[in-house]
Chains A and B, each alone.
Chain A
């Protein structure tokens, strides 16, 4: 008879849970369907696929004249730009040997690869394209940082937010010339359509930067000649501001910009109660949103698309992978030097990477599918590009050491396990 004792208790828990759930859900849904011109969404989820899909959904469904801000933090993930190459940007062998590897994500906006973890906060502003400007919201974040005591924050010519060298302070929020010794704390990336656009960025607060270095920068990149977009390496730094304070300051600066001091007053009350709410008169709405965002059909579809290997690997622009010439007697190939720590390098790498001299075998892939391969690898044509697949083909041609080398620089990816 134990169920009769257990059930009512279980029911009360679930009801309380449901009520809480419904409250968030309703504020979220109500704000999403409203015509309130200034909308703030704060995500409680750390799922990068969900957060990016919610971001895309906000940008797609909110009426054109509305401006929204979404704040989110993702669990450890390597986030590629829309037109980048995962085999160039990610060190796959390192990833597969890691105990708890970060996720690989391809976002829908342009730009280079960034690393997300629980020590950074992402801000994303969706706006009508008629008011779009690449620096406007980076400058908004700079104002927020300065109010938090990060006085050296400024937007540079690449639309990134950097910290000026110690002792240097500027009144303007935008640099008009290059300054040596700056450290990047946040990048910028954009998605543009005729009616709506968004600008998002990742602010490094307390990121575990030392964990990142091994995962970014592939050992194979020197052997890749890739179309699409490369990443520009910059000196980075954490701003060491508490996550909640940073999010609060950005939200406040955003509301000040679009709804004035009156809006900020309403915002402060709402943020203090942490309940979310809307004021139709002043035109400001704030809500918190968690996993329930995934109940929206379009968000669900977005998550499925972003998680699909067809998007992560199959969206890769055309590239050529050039292998060193195989040794006639299958003599072992010396291992590649490990890539240097990218965080300590302040060198911009060109997007087109030249293969080393003396390479003989070329494999050309487009959208992750091998289009052509030098003999004796013709069998690879039509297959998915993957270190393991190429290594196996080399091994079956008696080129085991070259195969081992390929696998050691490209690694095996899940992309090889499915499909043609």
Chain B
């Protein structure tokens, strides 16, 4: 009887805390600056959600990748409106006789490709994580971005690769 009563009283007390917790987390999830940080993949791509439009993410290759590739002479860009899946080839880079594929870090639809980069592939060497972005993708599932590494995690991953 005592246990029944306890559970009866416990329920209303417990429930609100639980919902409150979820609400707080959700608010952080969308409105906080958590998402405004760059995220990184094991394949050396970065993803950054747009400040103004949370459905659009900019994608590029990392400084580390740029440095490993050497002087970039050509970038093959994706076509706008193409649907892409995680890990799908969305483009290619050529440097010092080497061809490398660019893989999509997230699923979604290509919104725009960096046409400046098409004309001037060296932008990748000059500014891999800024002006040398590859494309913008309309995000299908934000959770995919959440699962990627943050800067600290990526830096540790890169240090691990060099050993």
Contact = CB atoms under 8 A, between A and B. Distances in A.
B73 interface: yes
A194 B41 CA distance: 11
Interface stretch (A145-153, A171-179, A184-192): A184-192
A108 B100 CA distance: 9
A412 interface: no
Interface residues on B, range: 10 to 19
A193 B44 CA distance: 10
Contact of A188 (B74, B76, B97): B97
A229 B100 contact: no
Interface in A155-192: 159, 187-192
Contacts of A109: 97-99
B114 interface: no
A130 interface: yes
A190 B93 CA distance: 12
B96 interface: yes
Contact of A227 (B42, B99, B118, B161): B118
A190 B99 contact: yes
B44 A318 contact: no
A111 B70 CA distance: 14
A130 B74 contact: no
A131 to B, nearest CB: 11
Nearest to B121: A227
Given A83-B76, A227-B118, A317-B76, A194 B42 contact: yes
A136 interface: no
Contact of A191 (B43, B73, B99, B119): B99
Interface string A91-108: 000000000000000001
B98 A229 contact: no
B74 A191 contact: no
Interface string A56-90: 00000000000000000000000001110000000
Nearest to A112: B97
Contacts of B42: 194
Contact of A192 (B98, B118, B119, B161): B98
Contacts of B73: 229, 351
A81 B74 CA distance: 12
Contacts of B99: 81-83, 108-110, 189-192
Contacts of A194: 42-44
Nearest to B69: A192
A134 B161 contact: no
Given A83-B76, A130-B161, A318 B118 contact: yes
A37 interface: no
Interface in B73-107: 73-74, 76, 92, 94-101
Given A83-B74, A83-B76, A229-B73, A189 B97 contact: yes
Interface of A: 81-83, 108-112, 130, 134, 159, 187-194, 227-229, 317-318, 351
Ranked nearest first, the 4 interchain pairs of A and B with the lowest CB-CB distance are A111-B97, A190-B98, A110-B99, A192-B100
28 contacts: A81-B97, A81-B99, A82-B94, A83-B92, A83-B94, A83-B99, A109-B98, A110-B95, A110-B97, A112-B97, A130-B161, A134-B96, A159-B97, A188-B97, A189-B99, A190-B97, A191-B98, A191-B100, A192-B100, A193-B101, A194-B42, A227-B74, A228-B74, A229-B73, A229-B94, A317-B76, A318-B118, A351-B73
